[in-house]
Structure 1
Amino acid sequence: MPQSAASPVILLDGGTGRELMRIGAPFQQPEWSALALIEAPEYVSRVHQSYVDAGADVITTNTYAVVPFHIGEERFAARGAEWAALAGSLAREVADAAPRKVAVAGSLPPVCGSYRPDLVDIARARPILAVLVAALTPYVDHWQAETLSSLSEAELVGELVAPTGKPLWLSFTLDDGHPGAEPRLRSGESVTDAARLAQRLGARAILFNCSQPEVMADAVRAARAASDLRIGVYANAFPPQDPDAEANAQLCDIRADLDPAGYAAFARAWRDAGATILGGCCGIGPEHIAALRALAA
């Protein structure tokens, strides 16, 4: 799917965890967004519907926290596949009921802790991701591996989803502590190498998520120079985190400048740099996605 200046913009949804909390769903650590799936899945459907109503072309399965890191080893072993399948079915039902075409992205998270390339353990991650892939395959239109902080995670995902025959989108989280520097993943590996790997793995798109809006445009330009893949961005709305921080370890304050209009201004710059997939991550809600709708026209 080569991209060009004429490529239409695909609009993603926004963050799920904070939106669940905002509407009153069961929400606490360590389960994070998985708690609503476990205890009150109707709230998950409500969040999906809110993003469809805002104009999203893609909604993402609520499987980011359906891993032992969040729900524990015993619960994952006993019911992880069941809950992942439930997440897939909830998204599928909302997408199929939409008055226009809405795709379902199967979220495949970093298994060993977000933002922590030093904790990546491919041998441990393999069987966990395999459970998610098997459970989600009947429901999703494409795979969206999210918040990848290293190239090795992307390679593993590429291997595991290849037999499904469904398109793969790879989304990396960036070192966002040094705006203006050469864009790199949190592992220190370059965006250029990430884009080349994505192309080699046969991915349809490379994206950047859960990082500061300020670092995204440079990453888009680097990816565009290194590949002909579609490029996407869905940034977060909280301040930069310490290098040893874990995403979702705590609720961070939301930046005051990233209201819907402020976020849309960043998104316009990403589009101008070459991004043709736009959405939001942590702290970005339906009102932000509605503000991006004009960019996708």
Structure 2
Amino acid sequence: MNNDLLKNWLEKQASLVLDGAMATELEKRGVDTDNDLWSAMALVHSPESIVDVHRSYFEAGANIAITDSYQANVPAFLKAGLTAEQSGKMIFDSVKLAQKARDAYAETLEDSVRQATPLLIAGSIGPYGAYLADGSEYTGDYDLSADEYKSFHRARMQLLEEAGIDLFAFETQPKFEETKALADLLSSEFAGIPAWLSFSVSDKAELCDGTPLTEAVDYFNQYANIVAVGVNCTSMDNIEGLVKVINSVTDKPIVVYPNNGDTYDPKSKTWQTNPHAKSFSELVPKWQAAGASMIGGCCRTTPDDIREVAAAIKK
């Protein structure tokens, strides 16, 4: 999958549907995610559950599966007791499991539908803060040099590339300097692979490190292989306004995948249910009207939510 082909799909489809939460669905299947590796621990102990979750999202209407590698990185697996070889295999397998689900689902489609339906695998690259497992992706409270960021992300990106991803998903990124390092690494060492870049933001149209969203988005206009920019893991109520802000400074497709409306406390690592949350079917048309063209769900979202997104987009 190259940049032009992904762009052609976006132009052809008007919108693409992303999948939803992995950890939430794994927990429903009895998988323990209460650890520093979070959902990535399932790569070690319950890989078939990951296949099942990916398949459920494709069946709900998702065009893009995001690999279970957000918090999967070699240092974290080493800390958990795996060898370097085993750690690399887990990251590589995160792609193969998504591909297995995609291919099984594709076999259920008629040839004409399969040929007309993009079914892509996005390799998830979480921020360095996700490795810290302390909620830093929501604060940006860490500092590395550009070379240190590249060194941290390089091995995972190489493994995802080798396994055959269609694009990278640089997601929940709270720090402008880290995203600049990622984009530079992508251009210099992974030039044939497109990526979307999705920021972790505060309630004030700023990255969590305080960088104005307009400044960050505008910076990446110079990178042709950053094929979409946007936000994820934020409140559904924030999306429409953020899309308008992003749309004011870029012509790139805009990607959004918010949480389901519940609120998260990164210190206690607990969620509080929001009984007044609006529905995706109500909000997706507003996001599209504001300029979003890649839409899915993040934490706490389910296949039912993605089914709502897909139905709203079809309308």
TM-score bucket (shorter structure): 0.7 to 0.9
Would you say 1:145 and 2:167 are equivalent positions? no
Q: Report percent identity of matched pairs.
A: 26
Aligned-residue CA RMSD (Å): 2.5
TM alignment of 1:1-297, pairs within 5 A? 1=7, 8-67=14-73, 71=77, 73=79, 75=81, 78=84, 79-97=86-104, 98=106, 99=109, 100=114, 101-112=118-129, 113-122=136-145, 123-138=147-162, 139-162=164-187, 163-164=189-190, 165-176=192-203, 181=204, 183-202=205-224, 203-237=226-260, 239-241=262-264, 245=266, 250-258=269-277, 262-297=279-314
Q: 1:70 Cα shift?
A: 5.2
Q: Provide the TM-score with structure 1 as the length reference.
A: 0.88
Distance in 2 between the 1:272 and 1:187 partners?
29
SS in 1 for 2:270: coil
Structure 1 pair 174/88, CA: closer, same or farther in 2 (3 Å)?
A: same
Q: 1:3 Cα shift?
A: 11
Q: 1:55 Cα shift?
A: 0.4
Runs of 4+ in 1 over 4 A off after TM superposition: 1-7, 68-72, 74-77, 238-242
SS in 1 for 2:244: helix
Distance in 2 between the 1:76 and 1:129 partners?
19
Distance in 1 between the 2:273 and 2:258 partners?
12
Q: Provide the TM-score with structure 2 as the length reference.
A: 0.83
Distance in 2 between the 1:43 and 1:103 partners?
19
Q: Which has the higher helix share?
A: 2
Instruction: In structure 1, list runs of 5 or more residues that go unmatched.
Output: none
The one-character-per-residue Cα deviations of 1:154-175 (angstroms, maximum 9, x if unpaired) are 1121122223211110000110
SS in 1 for 2:286: helix
Letter paired with 1:276: S
Query: Would you say the 8 A contact 1:236–1:281 is kept in 2?
Result: yes
Structure 1 pair 280/69, CA: closer, same or farther in 2 (3 Å)?
A: farther
Instruction: In structure 2, list runs of 5 or more residues that go unmatched.
Output: 1-6, 130-135
